[in-house]
Each structure stands twice: as structure tokens, then as C-alpha cells.
Amino acid sequence: MSDKLTEIMAHKRVEVAARARPVSLEELAELDARLPRPPSFAAALRRADGALAVISEIKRRSPSAGDIRAGISALDQARRYQNAGADALSVLTDEKYFGGTLDDLRSVTAHFAVTPPARPCIRKDFMVHPIQVREAREAGASAILLIVRALDDAEMETLHTAARAAGLDSLFEIHNEAELTRALALDAQIIGVNNRDLAIFQCDLGLSERLIPKFPSHVTAISESGIFTAADAARVRACGAHAILCGEALMKSPDPAALIAAFRAA
């Protein structure tokens, strides 16, 4: 792991340990049966028209970009994305490094529950314990993120199994071939290539171009980070991406609908 990712994960493990407790698969299955079913994240990423799906991210700041839209309402931004025709949303719930909270996710999914069309939301955070899976399901998420380089195989399997029990999809995030192999060994169905090198915080769309063609055909491929223009979207679509995850460009855009349309047209 990079120094920054190591720092983030160390902080996250301490943060989560303060509220961690045993969470059984039976408990998660019962929770899933009791709560309303969230919209499918996996289904939203495979558009019927074959166009590129767009996962629009709510992100106030990041270690690489600094402040993006500090203080913006997650709910207001979710409404913009909903009106813009985003296929799914990514909601940052890490507070220290990204300025997000679990309440952001709750407010967004509660809005979608009463104001159609609903959009599936992924809880974007540094997952280390099944208690976070329970929190995600309770908050209305449709999926969780698993950062392959930040977890060992046993941790990934535990979290992936917990997500399945809770009725959630898992997005496995990778950065190289070895991480792709590890994700596939756990039967990953959705894999995202993070084009940002977390060691130096630079983006290279060539990572998607190199890795996505190696995905099995049944795996849904997402290209993440570094996508700002229609030309960027066209590059990753050409190499086989079914969807893109875009945060900074959409957060800063005065017209998210136009940018999303441009991505799709690519």
C-alpha cells in the first residue's frame, strides 16, 4: 500500500474498532429480509441501450484534490445527479479524509425512497469490518466498496460474504494484475480499475486500457478516477468499460446533465 493509503487504513481500523462487535451472517440476512429492498447496483451498470453507465460521486474533498465542494449538501447534490440522469451514485462516508458521513448516505437513500426515479447508491468508504456492512444496509445502500490492495484475502472474503448475506453488491477496486487475480478468486462480479496511483496520486487511463480487456466477459467493468471529458470516457469505453465512476469533474460541473450526456455519447 502507499503511505497515504496505509495511513488512511490505520486510522479507519482504529475508528471502526470503537464500534465493532460480532456480526453474524444470520443477523445480516435477517436485516436484509426486514428492510426495504434497495435498487440493484449491478443492474444499473449494464444499460439496456449499451451506453456507458455513469456512477456519479458525492465527494466534498479528497487527499489528492483537496477541497472540491466543501460544505455542499449531499442531498442537494444527489438531486442534481438524479435530475441529470445518473445511473447510480457513490456516496463518500469517510469523514476525516473525504468530508463525508453516514448521514449523507441516509439522507440520499431516504430521498430516493420517496422521490422516483430511485438510484442505487454505493457506500464509498474503507471497509474493514462487517459492522460497516450492516451500517451500509441500514442506511439504504445497494453496494459496498472493497479495496483489494488494502485488505488481505481473508478480510475480503469475510466482507464479501457479509455483503451477500445483507443483500448488497460488492465493487472490488484494483490497480494491477495481481489484484485482479485476487478479486476473481473470490468470485467478484463487479470490478473497478482505479486509474489513480495511490502512491503518487497521479491518474493514468492506460491502467483501464491494460486491465479491463483481461476481465472475464461476465464481470462488469468500471473505470474509476481521472475521467473529465468525453474523450476520456471514449477511451475507457473502447477498452470494454461498462461504467465509469466520476467524482471531481461532476462535483465541479455547472451542468452535470450535459457532462453525463457527453460521457454517454462517447
**For residue 193, pLDDT beyond 90:** yes
**For residue 37, pLDDT beyond 70:** yes
Q: How confident is the model at residue 204 (pLDDT cuts 50, 70, 90)?
A: very high
Please pick, among 12, 179, 225, 248, the residue that the annotation labels catalytic.
225
Task: State the Cα–Cα distance between residues 223 and 225, nearest whole angstrom.
Answer: 7
* Contacts for 46 with CB less than 8 Å, ≥ 6 apart: 53, 220, 242
In a domain, 147, yes or no: yes
Please pick, among 56, 90, 142, 194, the residue that the annotation labels catalytic.
194
In a domain, 23, yes or no: no
Four-residue CA torsion sign, 69, 70, 73, 74: positive
Q: Which domain holds residue 111?
A: 3-17+38-265
Q: Is 225 a catalytic site residue?
A: yes
Question: What is the domain count for the chain?
Answer: 1
Strands (E) across 133-180 are located at 143-147, 169-174
Please pick, among 124, 170, 208, 223, the residue that the annotation labels catalytic.
124
**For residue 211, pLDDT beyond 90:** yes
In a domain, 210, yes or no: yes
What is the overall mean pLDDT for the chain? 96
Q: How confident is the model at residue 1 (pLDDT cuts 50, 70, 90)?
A: low
Q: Is 173 a catalytic site residue?
A: yes
Q: Is 62 a catalytic site residue?
A: no
* Contacts for 204 with CB less than 8 Å, ≥ 6 apart: 195, 197, 226
pLDDT tens digit sequence for 112-161:
999 999 999 999 999 999 999 999 999 999 999 999 999 999 999 999 99
**Residue 10 phi, psi dihedral angles, 5° rounding:** -65, -45
- Closest C-alpha to 8, from 69, 70, 75, 92: 92
Please pick, among 12, 59, 135, 209, the residue that the annotation labels catalytic.
59
**For residue 250, pLDDT beyond 90:** yes
Q: Is 124 a catalytic site residue?
A: yes
The stretch 70-85 carries a mean pLDDT of 96
In a domain, 218, yes or no: yes
pLDDT for 196: 86
The stretch 51-62 carries a mean pLDDT of 97
The stretch 180-205 carries a mean pLDDT of 90
In a domain, 170, yes or no: yes
In a domain, 87, yes or no: yes
Bigger pLDDT: 107 vs 65: 107
Give how far the C-alpha of residue 137 lies from the chain's centroid of Cα atoms, to the nearest Å.
14
Please pick, among 135, 179, 224, 248, the residue that the annotation labels catalytic.
224
Q: What percent of the chain has pLDDT over 70?
A: 98
In a domain, 30, yes or no: no
Q: Is 27 a catalytic site residue?
A: no
Please pick, among 57, 135, 179, 209, the residue that the annotation labels catalytic.
57
**For residue 200, pLDDT beyond 70:** no
Bigger pLDDT: 4 vs 13: 13
Other CB atoms within a 10 A radius of the CB of residue 117 amount to 8
In a domain, 9, yes or no: yes
